[in-house]
Structure 1
Amino acid sequence: MPDEDPTALPSATGVNGLRADCANCFGLCCVALTLTASADFAINKKAGTPCPNLADDFRCGIHDRLRPEGFSGCTVYDCFGAGQKVSQETYAGRDWRSSADTAQQMFQVFPVMRQLHELLWYLTEALTLPSAAGMREELSDALEATERLTRLTAGELAELDVSAHRDRTAALFLRAGELERAGVPRSGRRSRRSADLVGARLRGADLRGAELRGAYLIAADLRGADLRRAELIGADFRDADLSDADLTGALFLTQAQVNAAKGNAATRLPESLARPSHWTASAPGPS
């Protein structure tokens, strides 16, 4: 994640609470998760096994050259601040190396916390949507309930049925997104939910208010596309070209999705998200 902290969505958790702070994490994503050798990762690694690039101080030894070393997947991943929450609050600063007896449980708790923090991100954004003002009490209650779950003990988190909570909560913020999209002219609100748009030629497309939930946009050409108020939750933007595209007001877009895509200085992003360092610095010429 970038060091800069652009204007972010308000949250009872706090702005920084929903952003990865690797300096206060015990490298949990580098240990707890499985890596599969592919275009995203140069090696195979089992869950619970430290990545060979993880240093003794829990920092990545190749952080400044992850992409050329074949670990572009690491530059895309975002824990939504779950890493530091588990490290510093759930386990009160006890790391998995010095407390080997709790390591397995910590690696089990981390993905649960990540799901809860991701829900907090979506709920916080839903609370900012003008068209969902009538849902504010419901959304606030759901946010508070989710935050309470993040404060459970390690044992309670390990046993939590997070999928059931996610289903209940998602129904709320997705409804809020539908209300927001309803303000876009009907011609622009066609559903492309879970659509196979791999490599699709969508340059300059008017996708305002489109439902792109779970769409496969891998390597799609979205240069100059208008994605304002499009719902993008779960959309796969790996290697999609967002150069010159307008994503201001896009619904439920995350930093991980943006990091997975290509873009340039002319790509317009929501204020809550940072421009990835690997994007080109200037707009491309005509092709």
Structure 2
Amino acid sequence: MNDVQHASAWAARLFGDRQEGVRQRIGQAIRDRQERALTCQDIAGGSTKHAYGGARYPGFHESLMEEFARIDVDDPDFNNEVDFVNPDGFFREIDLVCYGGALLWPFRFSDRDTSAERAKLSNSRLVRELMGFAPSPPPVEDLFGTHLPHSRSIDMRPRLAALPSDTKLLLIPFSSNANGLLKAYWGIGTLIDDLGTIAWSDGPDPLPLPATPTRRGLTLLPPQTHLTDLPSFDSGAQPVPELFSRPDADEKNPGLSPQSEKQEHEPLTTEEEHEN
């Protein structure tokens, strides 16, 4: 588990005395999704990691939904601070979590054990829209030393635009691979170029990572039957053929050929004759 004994002043301003609980929920959601992704990879097998990658994203958003949906059970007084937003064009059944005025955005920045100081965001349209809730980027200088403001003229999709204007974008970078979850952070930052470079104004600070995942929603497979336990096709009871003996009169007449099956008797009348 990461060393997170110190409190973050910016997180305390954002979440108040519930800061530690929020951090634990985010860390638990990341741990749970990593465990599910590894389980998918174990079941799929093979030399590639496609199953792990497919279960990882956008699964981390889904795990955050599950974790924060339980607040109405664990902390009913704070339930009105939880909102689930599905941006138009995002995954249909997966929402972004908005909690206490913070819009949570988890993303994997590395598959190695490294610091989030150099984490980069994907330069997708959705990410550029989310920057509307991030701090203003620092100005850039031209060749003559003149400060030029960054341009953010992209329009937000309606459901994002409907969020309160004071919503804060909370970045949650983490590093992981198919061998395990490495590190996780959170902080406030903004995108400053097309390469995904982040300028951090608060953090990134370490997040607690529980040692074990919750078993919520996981079911055990029933005992599987091995092929050696299944009956073979020839292990059943053998059918007994029905035998018919020849009449005594036929046996005394050597000119008649034997009959192997009992012959059907032709009806004396037909259905058409009965109808006439």
Q: Which category of TM-score, normalised to the shorter sequence, fits these structures?
A: under 0.3
Structure with more helix by fraction: 1
Query: TM-score, normalised to structure 2's length?
Result: 0.24
Query: TM-score, normalised to structure 1's length?
Result: 0.24
Structure with more strand by fraction: 2
Whose radius of gyration is greater, 1 or 2?
A: 2
